[in-house]
Amino acid sequence: MRFFTPARQHDEEQLLWSRDVRFVARVGQAVRGGRIVELESGACLIAPAASLLESTIAPIADASGSPPYGLVTVDSRQAEAERYITALSAAVQLSGIADRIGMAQSSQIVQTKTLDYFFNLRHNHQVYFQPIVELASGAVHEYECLFRPVMPMLPQSISAIVQAAIETTRSVELDAFIVRQILGRAGELQRARLAGGAEPLRLSINLTPASLLDRRFEAKAIAAMVREVGLTPRQVTLECTEQQAVEDVVPLRRQVKALRRFGFGFAIDDAGAGYASFALIAALRPSIIKIDRQIVHGIRADDAKQALVEAFVSFGRRIGARLVAEGIETRRELATLTALGVELGQGFLLGRPSAQPEGPRRRPARGATPEGARAAIREIVTTLPSPLSVTSRTTD
């Protein structure tokens, strides 16, 4: 069986699969430059992406009794011997009836294939930067680096990729890949900023606990990676993202101490949720504690959430850690958190992730200057009444 003919190459192709052979044949008659391959489990149509469109397929599907089908883009960067098999598998899975025709895959197999596809697209993925802002002044403290997978044939969120890596015991491999990609991009931006006379970048990079305990991420090794791209450890905060419980905190505590000696900042993510407990934070003594967005959401109208944040503020002061409130989306949340003593904030209200590090989000009336953005944030904080004096609770 041959899926392709060497004499007929296309810059970009789509592959349609359905168990209904007649339906595939009707679609084949409606598009130009396509070729049909009949299979034991149905048929597939391969055609130029410009002609094999969802808008063409949908009316034919309706007239054919709406048979299940899958339509995917053929990845031309893969070897010819693999690209159509990979696309066919994806199309069958997308159709929703893979289990009925004996092509369902175990979760482990699907996750492994997803990760392999992710790693093969190393030049596709993007790094975004979201500002973490000093709430008192409106100035940028640092930027959290957010990794965005770009997988045209199998779109995935970074959370799904991380979870797949954890469940297939490849989280360290994933972190090593992502950190290299982030540092490479950060190095480019750092050189451009210094050439233009701007201040050096300050960055926050996420790692799982498993990676922090791996020899590839020993403090000396991370410091070498950072210096290799023209940054210094003092410009980087390493953020521990807990999606698994830490069974033995002692080796992790030793690693954190070593990182701090090299000059790295260290942050605990999602405080107040999941595994990021007071006990763990006390054991690791981070320089930054990031309050989970679920606590921030609706905090204006929730006494219990306010009490929890007050406890974190007091706790942070005792161990010398600064607090970052994540997911700030409303003016009321910002004013409440500031009144409670939170120093740093992050969220769509303050600045959205972007491909270039940008200043805090500004209100239109303030103009385009960084000082205008900082003044806008100060105005948001100072014009609302103190949340602690409000007795009538309303939602945003």
Distance CA 21, CA 270 (A): 50
Coil vs helix vs strand at 291:
strand
Q: Tell me: do 143 and 245 sit in the same domain.
A: yes
Do the domain assignments include residue 109?
no
**Token pair of 66, please?**
């709406």
Distance CA 368, CA 372 (A): 7
Q: Tell me: do 50 and 175 sit in the same domain.
A: no
Domain that holds residue 351: 118-389
Count CA within 13 A, CB hemisphere, residue 67: 23
Q: Tell me: do 151 and 281 sit in the same domain.
A: yes
Interval 317-354: pLDDT, tens: 999 999 999 999 999 999 999 999 999 999 999 999 99
Residue labelled with tokens 């899958």 = 70
Q: Tell me: do 266 and 307 sit in the same domain.
A: yes
Coil vs helix vs strand at 245:
coil
Calculate ∠ Cα 34-37-41, nearest 5°.
Answer: 135
Mean pLDDT of the residues in the chain? 84
Do the domain assignments include residue 160?
yes
**pLDDT tops 90 at residue 61:** yes
Q: Tell me: do 81 and 223 sit in the same domain.
A: no
Do the domain assignments include residue 3?
no
Q: Report helix, strand and coil shares of the chain as percent, to nearest 5.
A: 45, 20, 35
Question: What is the average per-residue pLDDT within 366-371?
Answer: 50
Q: Tell me: do 67 and 159 sit in the same domain.
A: no
Q: In this structure, what CATH number is given to the domain that contains residue 271?
A: 3.20.20.450
Do the domain assignments include residue 110?
no
Do the domain assignments include residue 396?
no
> End of a domain among 43, 70, 104?
104
> End of a domain among 43, 74, 104?
104
Interval 126-167: pLDDT, tens: 999 999 999 989 999 999 999 999 987 667 889 888 888 988
Distance CA 19, CA 69 (A): 7
**pLDDT tops 90 at residue 388:** no
> End of a domain among 52, 71, 104?
104
Q: How many domains does the chain divide into?
A: 2
**29-33, 96-100, 220-224, 390-394: which range is least confident on average?**
390-394
Interval 239-293: pLDDT, tens: 987 655 677 789 999 999 999 999 999 999 888 776 557 778 888 899 999 999 9
Q: Tell me: do 165 and 262 sit in the same domain.
A: yes
pLDDT value at position 375? 65
Do the domain assignments include residue 369?
yes
Those residues whose C-beta lies under 8 Å from the C-beta of residue 119, and which sit 6 or more positions away, are: 177
Q: Tell me: do 172 and 311 sit in the same domain.
A: yes
Q: Tell me: do 214 and 345 sit in the same domain.
A: yes
Distance CA 373, CA 350 (A): 9
Q: Tell me: do 296 and 235 sit in the same domain.
A: yes
pLDDT value at position 153? 63
**60-69, 326-335, 361-370: which range is least confident on average?**
361-370
**pLDDT tops 80 at residue 13:** yes
Q: In this structure, what CATH number is given to the domain that contains residue 91?
A: 3.30.70
Q: Tell me: do 196 and 84 sit in the same domain.
A: no
- Provide long-range contacts, Cβ within 8 A and 24+ apart, for 63-68: 63/26, 64/20, 64/22, 64/23, 64/26, 67/18, 67/19, 67/20, 67/23, 68/18, 68/19, 68/95, 68/96, 68/97
pLDDT value at position 93? 80
Those residues whose C-beta lies under 8 Å from the C-beta of residue 371, and which sit 6 or more positions away, are: none
Q: Tell me: do 18 and 123 sit in the same domain.
A: no
Do the domain assignments include residue 6?
no
**pLDDT tops 70 at residue 370:** no
**pLDDT band of 393, cuts 50, 70, 90:** very low
**pLDDT band of 367, cuts 50, 70, 90:** very low
Do the domain assignments include residue 286?
yes
